[in-house]
């Protein structure tokens, strides 16, 4: 297996373009995570069917969020993206998120070359408000059956806030 953190950097962060490694496809109940130590994608758990992922989900290589994992990314696409795919994403915002009392932010991107759906999305204001509500509902409730109240979407931020968080996570990676 490729070590994504060795093979790929974070991307052109200041230009708003980042590299994303996909862990989970949109619509999946499989919670797949990159195991940095063993350099494999690993099934962490299976979620209840009611909590399928509303977007494809991945991480930015060579970053560490405050929870000790690579910085998470939500990828807005019509189709699910396969596990292990590496893509370039255009940053459109961030979901500031708390999970079990820890910061676990989610950068929001569209594929950088998406000519069909992504070209019209340059900020979170361009995203269908119903999708934003679905994402927020998912993350506020996906642990409700086993640990109610343990997750909370704090707020949504713009691309500039997302880029600031990405830089902080790169710095954390470089000093680990």
Is the confidence at residue 119, as pLDDT, over 70? Answer: no
45 is in an annotated binding site: yes
Average pLDDT over residues 96-104: 92
Residues acting as catalytic residues: 104
14 is in an annotated binding site: no
Average pLDDT over residues 19-37: 97
90 is in an annotated binding site: no
Residue 23's contacts (CB-CB under 8 Å, 6 or more residues apart) are 32, 33, 34, 41, 57, 58, 59, 83
* Residue, of 72 and 148, whose pLDDT is higher: 72
Is the confidence at residue 8, as pLDDT, over 70? Answer: yes
What's the domain count of the chain? 1
> What global pTM score does this model have?
0.94
What residue numbers bound the domain in which 87 lies?
4-174
For residues 14-48, one letter each, b for 16 or more C-beta atoms within 10 angstroms of the residue's C-beta and e for the rest, the string is eebebbbbbbbbbebeebbbbeeeeeebeeeeebe
What CATH number is associated with residue 144?
3.90.80.10
Helix (H/G/I), strand (E/B), else coil: 54? coil
Q: Could you read off the pLDDT of 122-150 as tens digits, one per residue? A: 999 999 999 999 999 999 998 888 878 78
């Amino acid at each position: 297996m490729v070590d994504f953190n060795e093979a790929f950097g974070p991307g052109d962060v200041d230009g708003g373009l980042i590299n994303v490694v996909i862990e989970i496809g949109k619509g999946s109940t499989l919670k797949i995570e990159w195991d940095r130590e063993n350099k494999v994608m690993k099934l962490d758990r299976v979620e209840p069917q009611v909590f399928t992922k509303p977007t494809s989900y991945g991480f930015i290589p060579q970053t560490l969020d405050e929870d000790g994992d690579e910085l998470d990314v939500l990828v807005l696409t019509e189709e699910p993206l396969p596990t292990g795919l590496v893509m370039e994403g255009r940053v459109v915002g961030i979901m500031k998120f708390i999970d079990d009392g820890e910061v676990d932010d989610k950068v929001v991107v569209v594929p950088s070359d998406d000519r069909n759906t992504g070209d019209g999305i340059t900020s979170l204001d361009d995203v269908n408000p119903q999708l934003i509500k679905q994402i927020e509902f998912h993350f506020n409730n996906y642990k409700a059956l086993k640990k109610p109240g343990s997750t909370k979407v704090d707020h949504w931020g713009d691309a500039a806030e997302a880029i600031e968080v990405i830089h902080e996570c790169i710095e954390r990676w470089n000093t680990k």
